[in-house]
Amino acid sequence: MHMKNILPILTLTTLAAAASAQAAAPAAAGLSYNRVGLGYNTDSKGYSLSASALIGGSNFLVEADTTIGGAGNSNGDDAVALGYVFKNVALGADVTVSVASDEAYGLNVRKDLGNNLEAAVSFGRNSSDNNVWGAELAYNVSKQIQLAVGYSDEQGITPSTTDLTVRYNF
């Protein structure tokens, strides 16, 4: 079985397990790490699917994502990551460090800004040995639904990208 077939199956399995374990409980107040998302890249005109969940009651985070079409991209640009969330590190912000497939790693800082808003900034190094910077502003329509706009800039890649994402927190 090819890696491209395994990652979507792993993503769906992770989502099913996390959803069934928490089906009766609504998303807790504050930042949610148990979520699925559908994104649209306004530059490539492609889509992305993402999923993340904390493992049990721990701060260990498993994440998976894949791309669907778009200019210059083919289906299945997949990644799986394992991270650790350090909660309330400074000024109420959470910091996540992660390692991902294809020798990639990342650092993400997220903060609940109040009034249903949250912000995130990130830095990562991808499998092409390029640095990637990002920023995102999200609005929580409800405890379960989130709308976000993100911007990322990858070293050596022009142009930078803008993503619109809708997420479901579980």
Q: Hey, what long-range contacts does 72-78 have (CB within 8 A, 24 or more apart)?
A: 72/44, 73/44, 73/46, 76/4, 76/7, 76/8, 78/3, 78/4, 78/7, 78/8
Residues in contact with 129: Cβ distance below 8 Å, sequence separation at least 6, in sequence order = none
Q: Residue 122's pLDDT is what? A: 98
Query: Closest by alpha carbon to 33, among 103, 89, 82?
Result: 82
Distance CA 15, CA 113 (A): 27
Distance CA 113, CA 64 (A): 26
Q: Residue 27's pLDDT is what? A: 42
Mean pLDDT, to the nearest integer, of 23-44? 78
Q: Which of 25-39, 55-69, 116-130 has the lowest mean pLDDT?
A: 25-39
pTM > 0.85: no
Q: Residue 103's pLDDT is what? A: 87
Distance CA 20, CA 165 (A): 24
Mean pLDDT, to the nearest integer, of 126-152? 94
Task: Answer whether 108's CB lies under 8 Å from 95's CB.
Answer: yes
Q: Average pLDDT of the chain?
A: 85
Q: Between residues 19 and 90, which one has the greater pLDDT?
A: 90
Extents of the domains making up the chain: 3-169
pLDDT tens digits for range 3-16: 445 555 555 555 44
Q: Residue 62's pLDDT is what? A: 98
Mean pLDDT, to the nearest integer, of 75-93? 91
Mean pLDDT, to the nearest integer, of 90-96? 95
- The yes-or-no verdict on residue 96 having pLDDT over 90 is yes
- Enter the CATH code of domain 3-169: 2.40.128
